[in-house]
Amino acid sequence: MSEKKLMLGNEAIARGAYEAGVKVSAAYPGTPSTEISENIVKYDEIYAEWSPNEKVAMEVAIGASMAGSRALVSMKHVGVNVASDPLYTVSYIGVTGGLVLVAADDPGMYSSQNEQDSRAVARAAHIPVIEPSDSSEAKEFVKFAFDLSEKYDTPVMLRTTTRLSHSQGIVELEERFEPIDIPYEKNIAKNVMMPGNAIKRHPVVEAREKQMAEDGADFPVNRIEMNDTKIGVITSGIPYQYVKEAIPNASVLKLGVVNPLPRKMIEDFAKKVDKLYIIEELDPIIEEQVKSWGIDCIGKEILTIQGEYSANMLRKAILGENNALTAPAQVPMRPPILCPGCPHRATFYALKKLGLHAAGDIGCYTLGAVVPLGVVDTTVCMGSSISTLHGMEKAGGREFIKDWVAVIGDSTFMHTGVNSLINMFYNQGTGTVLILDNSTTGMTGHQDHAATGKTLKGETVLAVDLYKLCHDGIGIENTRVVSAFDSEALTAAIKEEVAREKVSVIIVQAPCALLKSNKPKPAFRIDPDKCVRCGMCMKPGCPAITKKPDGAVAIDATLCNGCGLCEGLCKKGAIVR
C-alpha cells in the first residue's frame, strides 16, 4: 500500500506538481499561497525560485513552458492582478510544456486587502479553472490540470482558497511522472504576439473554450452524486464539503472545472431535481451563467458574496434550520500586533513623535495604522506607498507632503516599490521614502528575496544592495542607511530628509525579530525602586510590557526579546537587564 500523509492543501499542491513532473516553479510569497513554494523546494527534481513579483514569476513559468517543460507558478489572488498582463496574452499563445497557475483566494480576508474572486480573471482571460475541495483532490487536480493544459494547449488556473490551502487532509503519495521535454520549435505565429499573429490566435482561444465546455461532462473531475431529487446543488471547492455536511441527502453536481462550465451536464442535472441551488463562495460566477441559460436556480438571493461559508450557514439558508446556540461572550478583541522587538515599532514610534503621516504598504508594517502607533494613513497594494505619496504631492503641492513619508518593506520595495521610486525621481517628486529593511519577507513567514543574498533553494548569492540601487542606480543623492533602534540618528535623519525639497531615501535597517539568525538579547525587567509608573515605556505598544491591576508596570520575560526600545524611553533608568 502506498504511503498516506496528512498534508496542508498547499503541501498537496506541491506534491501534485512533483508527481506531475513539474520542472520549474516560480512564485512571490503571499498568504495563503506561500507554503506551495516552501514545499516544492523540498523536491530536488524541481527548480524553484522566489521571483521579485508575480508578473516576473508568471513570465518565468511561461518561458519554461515555451522551452518544453512543465511549469507551475503560484500566487495569492491579488498577485494574479500583478501577473495579469502576461496571463491574458499567454492565453493566446498557449503552451508547449504544461503551464499551471495556482491562484489562492482569501474569502474572509484572513490576510488580504480585498476579497476578489480569481475565477473572474480566468474567465476574462479565457483560461480554464480547476477547483479542488480537499488536500487529496488538490494533489490529483494539479496532475489533471497539467494534462488539460497540454491537451487543449492552454494555461490552466488551479484555484484554491485559504480554507483549502491551510487545512490538512489525508493524501496518498504516488510516484513522479517523468515527462519528456518537448523539443523546441521556432513558431512565430504562436509565440510572438503582435497584432497580425494575435488576430489569428483569438479564434483559437474561442474554439478551445467551446470545446472544453462541450467535453466537460467527460472530465472525471466533474461528477454527479444523485441522491434525493428534492434538492439539487451545483457546487465546487471547499463549499462542496459544507454541502455534504449540511445536506447529505441532496443530489450534487460537483464541478472540478469551474470554467468553462459544462452546459449540457448542468442542463441535464437541473431537469432531474425539484429545486436547484448554486453554492459558491465570493462572486456568483457559476450562478450568473446558469441563470443566463434560463435555468431556474437560487444562489446569492439567500447567501452572500462576502466571506467564507459553513455548514451551519447552509442549514439556515437552505433548510431553514435555526439551531439555538449560546451567544458568544462579549470580550475585548485581540487584533494582530507587531511582535516584541519588532524594528517597525521603533520606526513608527519615531514617526509618531515627529507627528508625521505615512503612506503605507503591504507587510507587517501595515499594522502601523492601528493604535497605539497610528502613523500609517493609507495602504492600497504592493508598492503603492511611494507612488501614492507622489500623487499626493502632485495634487496638493510640496505643502501637502511636508509632514509625510512613504514606508515600504525591503521585499515589497523589490516587488514593485522600486518602479514607484524611479517614477518619483524621474518626475521630480520631493517625497521621503523609508525602506524598512528587516532582511526578509516578514508577514508571510520569512522568505528570502533579491536583497537578502539567499535563494529559495538556500544558495548564497550576491544580494542586491539597496543603498547602491537607490543611490548609484537610480541616482538619488540623498540616500542613507540608519539603524531602526538608533532612535536619535533615525529621528534626525527623518527630520532632515522630510524638510529637504528633493526625493530622499532612508534605509532603516534591523532584522526581523523572529528571524532565526537574529538571536534575542537578554530580557529586560523593571526595577520597582526606580519606576515612577509614568507609562512612557508603554507608549510604543510593546506586548511584552503590561500594567498590573495595582498600576505597577511589568515586563514579561518570556515575550521580551531585549530590543531596548523601552530602555531608551525610560528617563528614570528603571528598565534594566
Binding site for another protein (CB under 8 A): 4-6, 8, 31-32, 34-35, 110-111, 134, 163, 166-170, 238, 241-242, 244-245, 310-312, 323, 325-329, 331-339, 364, 367, 370-372, 443-445, 538, 541, 543, 545-547, 558
Please tell me the distance from the alpha carbon of residue 54 to that of residue 65, in angstroms, as a whole number: 16
**CA end-to-end span of the chain, whole Å?**
57
Closest distance between another protein and the C-beta of residue 265, in Å? 23
Q: 107 by DSSP, 3-state: which?
A: coil
Q: Please say which residue, 325 or 395, places its beta carbon nearer to another protein.
A: 325
**Residue closer to another protein, measured from CB, 187 or 546:** 546
Q: Whose CA is closest to 489, among 476, 502, 508?
A: 508
Pairing outcome for strands 4-8 and 24-27: unpaired
Residue 36: burial class (beta carbons within 10 Å; 0-12, 13-18, 19+): buried
Q: Is the peptide bond before 107 cis (omega within 30 degrees of 0)?
A: no
Q: Which of 357, 457, 567 is nearest to 47 (CA)?
A: 457
| CA distances for 558 relative to 183, 516, 521, 522, angstroms | 58, 17, 12, 10
Here the cell at position 298 is 437560487
Phi, psi of 161, deg, nearest 5: -125, 165
Nearer to another protein by C-beta: 238 or 466? 238
Q: Do 444 and 10 form a contact (C-beta atoms < 8 A)?
A: no
Output 277 or 404, the one with its CB closest to another protein.
277
In the complex, what is the shortest distance from the CB of residue 419 to another protein, in angstroms, rounded to a whole number?
25
Give the nearest distance from C-beta 104 to another protein in angstroms: 11
Which C-beta is closer to another protein: that of 69 or that of 379?
A: 379
Instruction: List Cβ neighbours of 21 (8 Å cut-off, separation of 6 or more).
Output: 70, 146, 176, 177, 178, 179
Neighbours of 219 (CB within 10 A): 18
Task: Identify any residues that bridge with 26 across adjacent strands, giving them in sequence order.
Answer: 49, 73
Task: Report in angstroms how near the CB of residue 453 gets to another protein at its nearest.
Answer: 25
Phi-psi region of 428 (alpha: psi -120 to 50; beta: other; left: phi over 0): left
Shortest gap between Cβ of 557 and another protein (angstroms)?
Answer: 9
Nearer to another protein, 99 or 443 (CB): 443
Give the Cβ contact number of residue 405 at 10 Å: 24
Minimum distance, C-beta of residue 337 to another protein, in the bound complex (Å): 4
Smallest gap from residue 357 Cβ to another protein (A): 20
Task: Select 315 or 502, whichever has its Cβ closest to another protein.
Answer: 315
Q: How far is the CB of 41 from another protein (least distance, A)?
A: 17
What are φ and ψ of residue 413, in 5° steps?
-60, -45
Asked if 341 and 326 touch (Cβ cutoff 8 Å), the reply is no
For CA atoms 95, 100, 105, 111, give the dihedral sign.
negative
Rounded least distance, CB 151 to another protein, Å? 31
Number of other residues whose CB lies within 10 A of the CB of residue 557 = 12
For residues 370 and 531, which CB has a smaller minimum distance to another protein in the complex?
A: 370
Name the grid cell of 181: 521535454
- Residue 205 or 542: the one with the smaller Cβ distance to another protein is 542
| Cα–Cα distances in angstroms (integers) from residue 114 to residues 9, 54, 282, in the given order | 22, 17, 11
Min CB(224)–another protein separation in Å = 18
Taking alpha carbons only, the member of 237, 336, 329, 348 closest to residue 285 is 237
Classify residue 316 by burial, with Cβ atoms within 10 Å: 0-12, 13-18, 19+: middle
Cβ atoms of residues 540 and 528 within 8 Å: no
**Residue whose CB is less far from another protein, 62 or 233:** 233
Taking the least distance from each CB to another protein, the nearer of 9 and 260 is: 9
In the complex, least distance from residue 170 CB atom to another protein, rounded to whole angstroms: 7
Is the CB of 292 or the CB of 322 nearer to another protein? 322
Sheet bearing 250-254, strands edge to edge: 223-225, 250-254, 228-235, 275-279
Which of residues 135 and 222 has its CB atom nearest to another protein in the complex? 135
Beta carbon of residue 469, minimum distance to another protein (angstroms, whole number): 28
Which residue, 252 or 433, is less far from another protein as judged by CB?
A: 252
User: Of the two residues 220 and 328, which places its CB atom closer to another protein in the complex?
Assistant: 328
Cell 494555461: give the residue: 155
Q: What are phi and psi of 343, to 5 degrees?
A: -65, -25
Q: How far is the CB of 35 from another protein (least distance, A)?
A: 8
Q: In the complex, what is the shortest distance from the CB of residue 57 to another protein, in angstroms, rounded to a whole number?
A: 19
Minimum distance of another protein from residue 369's CB (angstroms): 12
